[in-house]
C-alpha cells in the first residue's frame, strides 16, 4: 500500500512502536471482531488507535493499514481517500484537520469507522454477494475489505481504478 513508511528504518520503527504500544491492547479485542459490532468494541478500538498514532510517523492511514492485518473484519484501511470520502460531508469536514493530530486522530478515526459501518450495514446484502463471487474466483475478502475497495475505486481522485467503458 502507498505510504510514507518507505525505508527499512521507518518500517522497523513503526513495527517496533506498534508492537510496544498495541500488543498489550489487542487481546481485549477478539480476533474475529466485526465492525458491525462497533458499539461494544468502540472503547478498546479507540484506545488501540490512539496507542498506534502515538508512534512517530504513524497517523490514521498507517495505523489502520497495520491493524487491518490484526483484525481484518474490524479495521478497514482508512487511507486519505477513504477518510476523505467519509468526512467530506459538510457536517464532518471540520474533523479532517484532526487526522493530522496525535491527540485527535483516534476520535476522528472512530467517527469515520462509524460512518463506514453504517454503509456496511446498508449494503450488507450486496457486499455479501460480492464476497461470494470473489471467493469463488479465488479472492476471499472480508466485508470490510470489499467495501473499502468499492469506496476507493469509486472515489479515488485520479480515477485510475475505475473501469472505463469503450467509446
Q: Which pLDDT tens digit goes with each residue over 127-144?
A: 999 999 999 999 999 999
**93-128: pLDDT as tens digits:** 999 999 999 999 999 999 999 999 999 999 999 999
> In the chain, what are the domain boundaries?
8-155
pTM of the model: 0.89
> Cα(50)–Cα(44) distance, rounded to whole angstroms?
10
Cβ contacts of residue 37 below 8 Å, gap of 6+? Answer: none
> Cα(57)–Cα(128) distance, rounded to whole angstroms?
35
Query: By C-alpha distance, which of 45, 60, 53, 43 is closest to 21?
Result: 53
Helix or strand run (H / E) with residue 113: helix 105-122
> Cα(10)–Cα(92) distance, rounded to whole angstroms?
32
> Cα(90)–Cα(140) distance, rounded to whole angstroms?
35
Amino acid at each position: 500500500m502507498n505510504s510514507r513508511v518507505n525505508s527499512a528504518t521507518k518500517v522497523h520503527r513503526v513495527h517496533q512502536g506498534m508492537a510496544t504500544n498495541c500488543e498489550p491492547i489487542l487481546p481485549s479485542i477478539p480476533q474475529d471482531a466485526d465492525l458491525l459490532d462497533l458499539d461494544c468494541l468502540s472503547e478498546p478500538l479507540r484506545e488501540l488507535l490512539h496507542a498506534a498514532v502515538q508512534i512517530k510517523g504513524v497517523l490514521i492511514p498507517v495505523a489502520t493499514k497495520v491493524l487491518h492485518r490484526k483484525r481484518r473484519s474490524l479495521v478497514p484501511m482508512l487511507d486519505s481517500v477513504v477518510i476523505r470520502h467519509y468526512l467530506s460531508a459538510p457536517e464532518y469536514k471540520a474533523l479532517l484537520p484532526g487526522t493530522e493530530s496525535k491527540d485527535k486522530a483516534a476520535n476522528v478515526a472512530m467517527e469515520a469507522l462509524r460512518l463506514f459501518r453504517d454503509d456496511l450495514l446498508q449494503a450488507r446484502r450486496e457486499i455479501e454477494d460480492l464476497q461470494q463471487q470473489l471467493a469463488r474466483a479465488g479472492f476471499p475478502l472480508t466485508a470490510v475489505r470489499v467495501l473499502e475497495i468499492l469506496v476507493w475505486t469509486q472515489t479515488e481522485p485520479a480515477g485510475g481504478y475505475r473501469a472505463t467503458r469503450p467509446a
